[in-house]
Amino acid sequence: MTYRIRTMNAISPIGLAQLPRDTFDLGTDIPEPEGILVRSADLHAAPVPESVLAVARAGAGTNNIPVADLAARGVPVFNTPGANANAVKELVLAGMLLAARNIVQAADYAKHLDGDDAAVSAAVEKGKKQFAGFELPGRTLGVIGLGAIGVQVANSARALGLRVLGYDPSMSVERAWQLSADVEQASSVEEVFARADLLTVHVPLVESTRHLVNAERIGTMKPAPVILNFARGGIVDDEAVLAALDDGRLHAYVCDFPTVALLGHPKVVALPHLGASTAEAEENCAVMAADQLRDYLLDGTIRNSVNFPEVVLPRSAGTTRLGIFNRNVPNMVGQITGVLAEAGLNVADLLNKSHGDCAYTLVDVDGEMPDAVRQQVAGIDGVIRVRQL
């Protein structure tokens, strides 16, 4: 079988090379695609074709994808956590230094000096005091969100001599192993705000994180802290930040999400969404997204899906595989295996996992599977989609 893959936005050729042309047909105008590879294109703008079996986002955020709607159709949405982590980490570290030493404002001052060398030299000596900053060692960096990016930021900040206070109630075991033992764990978001000299957020933008940085929490911070946001714009209440900058509560705000109001403020450093804008990050994201899409379409494997659980089951020789999406309710596996048993099919291997209201089952049966059996499984109340692989 040849799978049709629609590419939206420019996807790195190195990533596309993960999809061999003898099995995958790629293009920007592919009709009735089974898979979509996307970066920033808005999939909310038009209905996702019914032919689509999976969507892979070459990046971490999935705000541009109707994740819940696709889950209801049994369509996994993949992202690429960690693929751009180093690129974002480097920008966060740069942002801390820009803010601490007032580098952008100082550079702008120097850029607009005029006169001969003697006049410029005199103006430099006269004006430099207004840009005096502070050093990072010994200060406390608060990190909210200890995923792939947050962990790298925390570890690198420790290497720069900062004390680091992290908070993430959903931190994975894998990230916990990666986190430096010197990073202190906070008991709440409020504790991070209260103790941080610099604060950086690394969480997705969902309803519970919208305006996570707000006027009330900024009001609990130490005098003249720095806030950095290289996650998503809506996580920070821009109006609250601007008010705090105006009354001296904040020293600086550094972000990757410019708005008209932010661009007009002298204490704001707003960058044009450069977080993952490196050749290396784009290649890493494209390769990871393509690998996940390929493995799902060929073997039913799910890795790094935002709407379905991770399910990885090695294939057994001489078996037929079913990939079954269903509601996360009791006795689904029992009903599925019951249908297979009634058909005289032996289950060689099976793995079932859940994610919220959704569940996914991979089951390998010995020999061939009659299409009528697949249809019977698909007819079980609560089954959303069945794929035979």
At residue 25, what are phi and psi to the nearest 5 degrees?
-105, 115
Cα end-to-end span (Å), the chain: 10
Report the mean per-residue pLDDT for the chain: 95
Give me the half-sphere count of Cα atoms (radius 13 Å) on the Cβ side of residue 167.
17
Residues 261, 234 contacting (CB under 8 angstroms): no
**Contact assessment for residue 205 and residue 232, using Cβ atoms and an 8 Å cutoff:** yes
Q: pTM score, two decimals? A: 0.80
- Residue 79 near residue 61 (C-beta atoms within 8 A): yes
User: Buried b vs exposed e over 193-205: b needs ≥16 C-beta within 10 Å?
Assistant: bebbbbbbbbbbb
Q: What phi-psi label fits residue 77: left (phi over 0), alpha (psi between -120 and 50 degrees) or beta? A: beta
| pLDDT at position 331 | 94
Q: How much of the chain, in percent, has pLDDT values that exceed 90?
A: 93
Segment 230-263, tens digit of pLDDT: 999 999 999 999 999 999 999 999 999 999 999 9
Tens digits of per-residue pLDDT, 165-217? 999 999 989 899 999 999 999 999 999 999 999 999 999 888 999 999 999 99
- Mean pLDDT for the stretch of residues 73-87: 94
Average pLDDT over residues 140-148: 96
Residue 116 CB-half CA count within 13 A: 1
316 pLDDT above the threshold of 90:
no
Cα separation, 268 vs 366, in Å, equals: 63
Q: Which residues contact 47 (CB under 8 A, 6 or more apart)?
A: none
Radius of gyration of the CA atoms of the chain, in A: 25
Give the pLDDT of residue 3.
97
List, in sequence order, every residue forming a beta bridge with 388; answer none if it has no partner. 322
Q: Does residue 40 register a pLDDT over 90?
A: no
Helix (H, G, I), strand (E, B) or coil at 201: strand
- In 3D space, the residue among 130, 172, 114 whose CA is nearest the CA of residue 267 turns out to be 130
Neighbours of 321 (CB within 10 A): 19
Mean pLDDT (whole number) for 120-140 = 95
Residue 160: pLDDT over 90: yes
CA 108 from centre of chain = 33
For residue 10, the model assigns a pLDDT of: 87
pLDDT attached to residue 60: 82
Percent of the chain with pLDDT strictly greater than 70: 100
pLDDT band at 6; cut points 50, 70, 90: very high
| Cα–Cα distance, 301 to 298 (Å, whole number) | 8
Q: How far apart are CA 178 and CA 162, in angstroms?
A: 18
Report residue 293: phi and psi, to 5°: -65, -45
Angle subtended at Cα 60 by Cα 57 and Cα 65, rounded to the nearest 5 degrees: 45
- List, in sequence order, every beta strand (DSSP E) within 218-302: 226-229, 252-255, 268-270
